[in-house]
Structures are given as structure tokens and as C-alpha cells.
């Protein structure tokens, strides 16, 4: 059985007409970087940690000798608009865990005042492209998806799927009678990709009509691009570890 | 733990002496195509959606920007004879999920008025045969199986198995004291096979004594056959993706 | 969650001081053949079928068009001594299923009057040996194991394990305060092995002090030996399917 | 569902301000050997056995014909300081099992009087090193980790993880408001490593300020080192079985 352990960090007053935003780890860590940038820029306040017996059975070691637990976290943001941001360092390992955690996160989001959901993620393109990376949209209704076209997003034509929380939280939003939209930024996929995160946040900020500073993300993206140029030159680091997890900048 | 989420789409009056017909995805998508043809031809009305935390943890993206959830669905048909048709876009991933969903579908079928069960599926033959593709039968009793011989079906002689819902729904029918029969159409297996679905429906309509129009299925089969001729000529597309899921025609 | 479905076939009067004997499928089908021979020779009466959502999610097709369900079965034997025999066509697929089914079978065995347990199985030796195949013993105490030496069994010296029901039913016997012994017959392992089943029953009948007719098993063993001679000559059939399941003779 | 079966071996008076010490099987069996040495040197008394349906579904065969069950065990030590030692011959197979067993062991440890936790383990270095093998520390807070530096331990700089009970028991300690520290000794990893166990116990005894006799461990380590020299000479036994489990000396 999937067991969730919820640890309240802070008492809260539910927000009003808030947007639930999911950014858990996935391809290129796009969603996670975007969520952490939102939390950092808008002073998100952590209100809950969620532990699950279907997360990887481990702890991570920090360089200061402390350990980091595997969990998902809920942050509340009041300005510029009310947001409930879900981030974390992991997703469930099994289908049942994926379903149960996504279901619970939507329930919690609604309790915290969410009336609409956005899930953020990457769409792997496998190689360094010559052109601008696109952002795709998929929604719980085609009307909602259509409305996003003015923000520069496209529809996918691959008959593909959205895996994990980014997909299932659309489903559980709809089953709980709230609309939900997934924004997927094209990404090379095998490195942490702050550029794709910038692209996704760019669309999100237009759709939700708020402004935000991308300076830190752009600095980070510039660093990664330098790295990628080296990769193209040498091709030697092409098989870098997938779980490159150095997100300390975004903490 | 396997969790099922049942979403009632419409209140219903249970049918009388209805036939429960299962057509979930499997080899050649034979059962699914057959079930969707029944629903389409006889105006099946959707009464319930079933979600399960053991289905693939994803949503599928449609070309109009909307998303499709993974689920099983129950449709009621009143004419030409009362039928309860179970279709959907997935089956459970684990043994426990297979058992629990099949068990629940039989219980729901009986609540909707089923007194007999048919499960429809394919039997992969692995290559394009030179002769007519057969339909095999297996029932919860040899007497019932024997009665089907007059409709042109044969007994399998391979000491084989029937995997998934098509098999387990026979078992749960019997454990709930109703008879059940599986019709399996030979199919190449690696393409969606409307011809095999036609074969299986042909036997079903004789066994249940109703008439139906196969025009749409036959058109679809002709298209697939043209494709297969090309395959034979070129052999290049022989390894086409197994989860070819373009069933939009049958929606 | 592991779910068991128990179907009572017949009301029973618990036996007195009965021996619980487990013979579920395993290497060489040794335990299963032995259990089915006991049931056949001593007119075992089926009292219960056990279904589990961790058994293979399938049904098997018989040549008469009927289907066989995956289950475990409990048979009672009154003469020559009271025995509760557990047989079936499958074991659980996951560790949790193995534990839960073994635990429940011991509880049921004790309800049916068991005060001692024997589990029967094979120990694969991987090739056709030149000498007589041994039978090994392992018990919940070394004293009990030692007592069996007079029946011609040996101790294993490989620091090995006993997998599945044959091992776990020893454990759950002991945790329920009854002694238990496993008899393992050496077997080539890749064919159904009635000779090994004869060896194991030979020891069991001495230990429990009853006589039985091995004629049918010996006929069957002679047939298999002829087959093996051919294998040695041709070596072509060496890789025959492992799940050779033609046990109809033992039905 | 993960099920735990707890078998009380002896009634107990909870200890006061005791240290919970985990030494379950892992790489090089470092933690297990260390825990068994503590139990042996300080006359640990077994108070509980824990069985779990996610442990390997088997029993092990001893050379005296008896069988050993897969379990975890809790021992109490009163002198030189109060300790609750957790050892055993296995860990859970699935993530859910890992979480549930670790959670329960911490709860039981606290019931037995624990106010602080140490988990002991190995860190594989993959080859026979030329220099002294280090011991690393990681704690639920960097302050606690820092305090251990005076005992000769270092911080890991690999951004790595601590898998299984040694990691999760840190987490569940913290979630139960007690501090916890993991000591990881470098080990070659593919043989049982009493030298690494000595290294880890050496740090532990300094941190907890007690003295202990390492003679038996050092004898054992000398034997293993002789074996390793042979390995270096011949390189033939380099691929010895990983689950070398001959810990009878430490029983």
C-alpha cells in the first residue's frame, strides 16, 4: 500500500483563487527549476512536506555533512498573484505511487485555495537543436489549450503522452472539477536545463499576467550553454550522468 | 494497494438478461476494436468510467490540445439485444491490478444486469498467413464451448493461456455463478487488426442471434490490408511500433 | 495489497493429528506430482480452493474448450493416516504474495487439524547424473532433521536456501508452534520429474509409516527416462520449454 | 501492503537514554558485522524478531539440517552504555518495504528507550586500495556531523546517497525528533569486510566514549586479508559470489 506522511511546517490561511503550479523533477529538471525560481523570486513560504513510501528508499548526502530527505514540498506565494507551488527532489517509483501522490497533491492544493492547475515539464528532443526551443501546451479541454496559443505555445502532433505528476495532476484536477494545463518546454534532456525552464516560465507569466525577473535563470542558462559548447567540441562528456542534481543555486 | 476510482456518468436502470462483453486493449487491439464497433453501431451509452492506480501513470495528448485519461468505460446497449460493453484505452500493469479490475468489472456488469459474459481478444500468429484467420473459443464449461462450434469456431490445441481481462473475467464470471466465453481471433498481432475484430464479431452476432453492419470495419480492414501488402513488398515497416494507437475512426 | 479469495468446496469435520503436506509447483514439479499422487492414491477430497491476486493474471485453456483457473487447493485424506494435502497449478509472483499465501495456508491447515508439516520440492542439479538422485532434509529444528537420517536422507552442505512455499511454510509452521520438515529430491530440473517425486514420497511414507503404490509414478518415470535417453543421444531437445505443464495424467 | 510480524522474545524494561544502533546487511556486510560484534562483546539480549512480507521469500538451510528464517532482530545492551542494536540477515526488497520497516524499527527503538540513532554501513570503493580506508559521516544536522570530525571521520564530497535502512533510519529518527548519524566505512565491497567493521566501530566507540575489544574482529580481518592477497596474486577469484554469507563466526 502507498503510504503518505504529511508534515505540516506552518499553519496557513487558504489562499483565494490561487493557481496550483507543479514543478517536480523530470526530463531536464525543467519543471523543478521553474518551480524553484518562482519560489525564490516571489518568497514562497513552505507550508508542508510530503513523504511517501514509494519514493526512492534513500537520503542524499550534502557537502556539509547533513542529509537531505526525499520528499515533495508545498509552498504558498501571495504576490504578484496567489500561487501554490509544488516542488521537491523526487517522484514516486511505481504507478500506484504516482497516482496516489498526484491525487493527494491536488486535494491539498484545493484545500490551500487552488481553482486552476498548471503542470510544468520538459519534452526531450535528444540533441542540441539549431533553432529556438518550443513550448507545447495540453489542457483538460481543447478550448483552454486553444486560449494559450496567443502566448506562443504549440500543440503536439506526436500522439504522445505526459508521464508522471505533470500528466496525472491534469487528470485529478479534472476529476475534482478544476481546469488544468500542462506546459512542456523542449529540452535536450540530458542536462539540467534552465533555458527550457525560462521558456516555460515565460509562457506561464504571460498566461497568468504577472512579471518576473529571469536574470538568475539566464545566468545559469549561460553557464550551461558554455558547457554544451564544450560538449559539442569534445563530444567526450556526452554521456554525463543523467541524475546531475546540482541545483544548489536554486535552493 | 490497488485503488479504483469509479465515476458515474449517468444514472441507469439495470438491463434485463444482458450480455456482458469485454473488449479492452490487447494483441492486435482486436477486442477493443470489436467493442468500439458495437458501441458505435448500436448507440451504446456511457454510464461509468473506471480509473485505477495500476493503469499507466500518464495521460495521452490529443491533436486538438486536449488530453485523454487512461481508463476503462462501461456502455449500455438496449437494442438489438441488451448488452453491457466494457472498453477503454488500457489494462492494469500488475497482476494484482489485473485481478482487482477484472473482479470489479464483473461485479459492476452483474449490477447492470449481466447474466452471461463474452470476452473478446486476439491470438497472435506472428506472420501474415496464406489462409483465412480462425476464431477460437474457450468457455467456463466444455459444454458451452462445444455449443459454439456451430458458429465456425475451433478449440485451441496449444495448452496455452488467456492473459489479462479476457481470461480473468471468465474466472470471476464463474466465481459469481455466471457462464462466460472467450472468443479469440487469429491476428498477425503487430498491427491494429480490424479484420480479426470483424471475425470475432461475426461469431458473436451468430451466437447471440443479432445482425450488424460490418461496412465500417471492412473499410478499415481494407486500408490495413493495403498497408500490409506494402509491408510484404518492402519489409521495411515490419517493425512498426506495437502501441500503434490510431483508433480515432472507432471513437 | 495481497487479496485471497477462498472458495469452500465442501463442509468438513477437522481431522485429528493430521499431517499438512505441501506440493505446489516448483523445480521439476516434484512437489506437485508427489501431492497429486497422494491425492489420487488415497482418494483425497477437495475442501477448498484459494485464489490470489498475486497469482499469474491468466487462465489456462484445456483441450476440451474449457478453462482452468490459477489456484491452490486443499484436499483431505483420512486413510492410511490423516493428511491435509495442498496442491495447485501456481505460486504467487511477488514476495508479499508468497508470504501471505504461505501464512494463510498454514493457518487453514491448522484449522483442518494439522499438527505437523511436510513441504515437498526439488533441488535442481542441472544435468543428468550417473548415480542415484538423493533426497535432502531440512527442518525447523536440527533434532527433527536428524531423526530423518534413518530414512535415507542427507543434509545439504551448500548454505543454500529453500524458495517459495516450501521454505516459507516451514517458517509459518514454526511461528505457529508446529514442527515442519522440507524434503527436497535432486532433479534435473528442466523436465517434469516423476522419479524425483517417487524418491520424495518414498522418504515421506517411511517417515509417516504408511505404505503406498508407486506403480503409476514409476510408469510415468519410465516414460520420462526414455525421453531423457533420447535427449542424451540427440541433445537437440535439451532446451525444451521450462513450463512444460502436461500433468494431465496426474489430474 | 507491507505486513510486519513482530515476535516478542522477552519482556523488557525500556532502557534510559539509549543509543539505537542499526547494522543490517549491506555492502561488505560492514554494518551487520559491526552490530554482531557489539552484541557478542557486550552480551546483547534478543528482545524481538521482526518478520516482513517484503523480505526475500525463502529460508536459509544450516549445515546441521535446521533452517534460518529471514528477519531483523532487536538486542538490548546495558553495559558499558545502554544500546539498542538492530541486526538481521536481510533488508526489504521493495521501496515500500524499506520505508515501512525503517519507520517501524525507529518507533520500536524509541519505545525501548532510544534518544539518539547511529546507522552503520559500508561505502564501496571497488578495488583494493593502497592506503588506509576512511570512515565518512553524515548526520541529520551539519552541527552533529561536524562534532564527529574529532573522531577521525570525513565528509563525503560525491553528492551521493545512503541507500536502505542506513539512510531511511536517519530520516525517521529526525521525523520523530531525535538526532541520527550514519558512519560509513570504505570497503572493497565484494567480500565480507571485518576490517571496515572495525574502522566503523572504532569511531563509534570514540563518539560514545566506551572501550571494546577488537581481537576477534582483527583475527577475522587478518583471515580475509590473507584471502585478498591471494586474490591479488591470482586474480582468479576476483569474481567471487557477492552474497558470501559465511558469518557463522559472528553468530
Name the minimum distance, in Å, from the CA of D71 to any CA of chain C. 11
Would an 8 Å CB–CB cutoff place D140 in contact with chain A?
Answer: yes
Q: What subunits make at least 3 CB pairs under 8 angstroms with A?
A: B, D
Q: What is the mean pLDDT of chain C?
A: 90
Chain A touched by B53 (CB under 8 Å): yes
Helix (H) or strand (E) holding A175: helix A165-175
Bridge-based pairing state of the strands B180-187 and B114-124: parallel
What is the model's pLDDT at position D1? 82
The pLDDT > 90 percentage for chain A reads 77
- Binary contact (B157, C63; C-beta < 8 A): yes
Does the residue B244 lie in any domain?
A: no
Q: Any idea what DSSP says for residue C118?
A: E
ipTM score of complex: 0.89
What is the structure's pLDDT at D233?
65
Q: Which distant-in-sequence residues (6+ apart) come within 8 Å of C130 by Cβ?
A: none
pLDDT at B220 over 70: yes
A245 in any annotated domain: no
CA–CA distance, C22 with C84 (Å, rounded to integer): 8
Whether residue D58 and residue C163 make contact (CB cut-off 8 A), yes or no, is: yes
Model pLDDT, residue D77: 98
CB contact under 8 A, A59 and D162: yes
Q: Supply the range of the domain harboring residue D208.
A: 4-235
First to last CA, chain D: 32
pLDDT in tens, D62-86: 999 999 999 999 999 999 999 999 9
Tally Cβ neighbours within 10 Å of residue B111.
12
Choose between D170 and C229: higher pLDDT.
Answer: D170
Q: What is the pLDDT of residue C128?
A: 67
D1/C96 CB distance under 8 A: yes
Residue C119 forms beta bridges with which residues?
C22, C182
B143 located within any domain? yes
Q: Which residues of B touch A171 (CB under 8 A)?
A: 51, 59, 67, 69
Nine cell digits for residue C227: 525421453
Could you tell me which residue, B154 or A231, shows the higher pLDDT? B154
Assess contact for D46 and D88: CB atoms under 8 A: no
* Residues of chain D neighbouring A2 (CB-CB closer than 8 A): 96
- For residue B17, give every residue at least 6 positions away whose Cβ sits within 8 Å of its Cβ, in sequence order, or none: B82, B113, B115
3-state secondary structure of B218: helix
CB nearest to D57's CB, from C98, C141, C145: C98
C199 touches chain D (CB under 8 A): no
CB-count burial class (<10 Å; 0-12, 13-18, 19+) for D154: middle
Residue contact C64–B168, C-beta within 8 A:
no
Asked if A190 contacts A242 with a C-beta cutoff of 8 angstroms, the reply is yes
Nearest to B212 by CA among B21, B10, B25: B21
Residue C62: CB partners within 8 Å, gap ≥ 6?
B138, B142, C68
- Whether B240 maps to a domain, the answer reads no
Smallest Cβ distance to A145: which of B2, B60, B65? Answer: B65
Q: Which residues of C touch B163 (CB under 8 A)?
A: 57-58
Instruction: Report the domain count for chain D.
Output: 1
Cβ contacts (< 8 Å) between D102 and chain A: which residues? 57
Task: Report the residue of chain D nearest A245, measured CA to CA.
Answer: D159
The pLDDT of residue C31 is above 50: yes
Within 8 A of B150 by CB-CB distance, chain C residues are none
Q: Which three cell numbers stand for residue B109?
A: 456488469
pLDDT of residue A238: 36
Buried b (16+ CB within 10 A) or exposed e, D199-212: bbbbbbbebeeeee
Sign of CA dihedral B175, B176, B178, B182: negative
For position C165, which CATH number holds? 3.40.50.10900
Q: What CA–CA distance (Å, rounded) separates B187 from B194?
A: 9
- Residue A250 in 3-state DSSP? helix
Query: Is A227 an 8 Å CB contact of chain B?
Result: no
Is residue B165 pLDDT above 50, yes or no? yes
pLDDT at B128: 67
Tell me the per-residue pLDDT of A179-221, one tens digit each, with 9 for 90 and over: 999 999 999 877 889 999 999 999 999 999 999 999 999 888 8
Residues of chain D in contact with residue C163, where contact means CB-CB under 8 angstroms, are 57-58
> Per the domain annotation, does B193 fall within a domain?
yes
Is there a domain that residue B243 lies in?
no
Domain presence at residue D249: no
Q: Tell me how close the Cα of A142 comes to any Cα of chain D, in angstroms.
A: 38
Q: Which three cell numbers stand for residue B177?
A: 455463478
Question: Does D53 sit within 8 Å of C95, measured CB to CB?
Answer: yes
- Check residue B131 and give its pLDDT: 74
Chain A CB within 8 Å of residue D150 CB: no
CA C2 to CA D105: how far, in whole Å? Answer: 23
**Is pLDDT above 80 for D247?**
no
Q: Residue ranges of the alpha helices (H) in chain B?
A: 30-41, 95-111, 142-147, 165-175, 194-208, 215-234
pLDDT value of position A67: 97
Q: Which of A100, A156, A164 is closest, CB to CB, to B61?
A: A156
Can you name the residues that pair with B76 across neighbouring β-strands? B45, B84
Q: Where are the alpha helices (DSSP H) in chain C?
A: 30-41, 95-111, 142-147, 165-175, 194-208, 215-234
Cα D22 to Cα A159: distance, rounded to the nearest angstrom:
50
Q: Is B51 in contact with A155 (Cβ distance < 8 A)? A: no
Report strand pairing: C161-163 vs D58-61.
Answer: antiparallel
- 3-state class of C123 per DSSP? strand
Check CB contact under 8 Å for A67 and D96: no
Structure confidence at residue C246 as a pLDDT band (50, 70, 90): very low
Residue A202 phi, psi dihedral angles, 5° rounding: -60, -45
**Looking at the complex, does the CB of residue A248 fall below 8 Å from at least one CB of chain D?**
no
Which residues of chain C make contact with D2, given a CB cutoff of 8 A? 96
- What is the structure's pLDDT at D227? 74
Beta carbons within 8 Å of B173's beta carbon, 6+ residues apart: B20, B106, B117, B140, B179, B180
B157 to C56: CB separation less than 8 angstroms, yes or no:
no
C-alpha distance from B51 to closest chain A C-alpha (Å):
10
* Cα–Cα separations (whole angstroms), residue A127 to A133, A184, A232, C26: 11, 17, 10, 49
Q: Which chains touch B (3 or more CB pairs under 8 A)?
A: A, C
pLDDT tens readout for residues A24-45:
999 999 999 999 999 999 999 9
Q: Which residues in chain A are contacts of D162 at CB distance < 8 A?
A: 58-59, 61, 67
Q: Does D95 touch chain C (CB under 8 A)?
A: no
Q: C64: which chain B residues are within 8 Å (Cβ-Cβ)?
A: 142, 145, 155
Q: What is the pLDDT of residue C249?
A: 32
Instruction: Kindly tell me if the per-residue pLDDT of D245 is higher than 60.
Output: no
Chain A residues within an 8 Å CB radius of B64: 142, 145, 155
Q: Is the pLDDT of residue A157 over 90?
A: no
Chain A residues whose beta carbon lies within 8 Å of the beta carbon of residue D168: 57-59
Task: Report pLDDT digits (tens) over D130-147.
Answer: 678 899 999 999 999 999
**A164 in contact with chain B, both atoms CB, cutoff 8 A:** yes
Taking the Cβ of residue A93 and every Cβ of chain B, the question of whether any pair is shorter than 8 Å is answered with no
Nearest residue, CB atoms, C64 vs list B142, B148, B164: B142
pLDDT of B244 above 70 = no
Over range B173-191, report the average pLDDT. 94
Under 8 Å between Cβ of D112 and D74: yes
Q: How close C211 comes to chain B (CA, Å)? A: 35
SS3 percent helix, strand, coil of chain D, rounded to 5, is: 40, 25, 35
Least confident window among B149-153, C127-131, C186-190, C245-249 = C245-249
Percentage of residues in chain A having pLDDT higher than 70: 90
Residue A238, SS3 per DSSP: coil
The pLDDT assigned to A224 comes to 80
Instruction: Please check the confidence at residue C218 and state whether its pLDDT lies above 50.
Output: yes
Residue D55 lies in a domain: yes
Interface contact D51-C171, CB threshold 8 A = yes
Which pLDDT belongs to residue B232? 64
Average pLDDT, whole number, for chain B? 90
B116's grid cell: 452471461
Phi, psi values for residue D47, rounded to 5°: -115, -20
A175 touches chain D (CB under 8 A): no
Angle between helices D30-41 and D215-234 (to 10 degrees): 150
For chain B, say whether A124 makes contact (Cβ under 8 Å).
Answer: no
A60 HSE (CA, 13 A, CB side) = 17
What pLDDT shows up at residue D242? 36
- At D89-126, the pLDDT tens digits run 999 999 999 999 999 999 999 999 999 999 999 999 87
Of C5, C56, C64, the CB nearest to B95: C56
Amino acid at each position: 500500500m502507498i503510504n503518505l506522511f504529511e508534515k505540516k511546517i506552518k499553519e496557513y490561511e487558504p489562499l483565494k483563487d490561487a493557481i496550483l503550479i507543479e514543478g517536480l523533477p523530470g526530463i531536464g529538471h525543467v519543471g523543478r527549476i521553474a518551480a524553484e525560481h518562482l519560489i525564490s523570486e516571489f518568497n514562497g513560504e513552505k507550508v508542508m512536506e510530503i513523504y511517501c513510501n514509494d519514493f526512492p528508499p534513500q537520503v542524499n548526502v550534502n557537502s556539509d555533512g547533513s542529509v537531505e530527505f526525499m520528499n515533495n514540498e508545498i509552498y504558498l506565494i501571495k504576490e504578484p498573484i496567489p500561487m501554490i507551488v509544488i516542488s521537491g527532489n523526487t517522484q514516486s517509483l511505481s504507478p500506484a505511487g504516482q497516482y496516489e501522490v498526484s491525487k493527494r497533491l491536488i486535494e491539498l492544493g484545493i484545500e490551500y485555495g487552488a481553482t486552476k492547475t498548471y503542470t510544468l515539464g520538459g519534452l526531450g528532443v535528444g540533441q542540441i537543436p539549431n533553432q529556438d526551443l518550443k513550448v507545447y501546451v495540453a489542457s483538460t479541454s481543447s478550448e483552454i489549450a486553444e486560449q494559450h496559443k496567443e502566448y506562443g505555445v504549440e500543440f503536439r502532433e506526436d500522439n504522445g503522452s505526459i508521464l508522471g505528476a505533470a500528466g496525472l495532476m491534469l487528470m485529478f484536477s479534472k476529476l475534482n472539477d478544476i481546469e488544468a494545463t500542462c506546459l512542456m518546454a523542449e529540452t535536450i534532456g540530458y542536462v539540467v536545463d534552465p533555458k527550457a525552464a525560462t521558456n516555460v516560465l515565460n509562457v506561464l507569466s504571460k498566461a497568468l499576467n504577472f512579471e518576473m525577473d529571469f536574470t538568475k535563470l539566464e545566468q545559469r542558462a549561460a553557464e550551461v550553454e558554455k558547457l554544451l559548447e564544450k560538449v559539442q567540441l569534445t563530444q567526450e562528456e556526452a554521456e554525463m550522468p543523467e541524475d546531475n542534481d546540482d541545483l544548489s543555486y536554486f535552493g
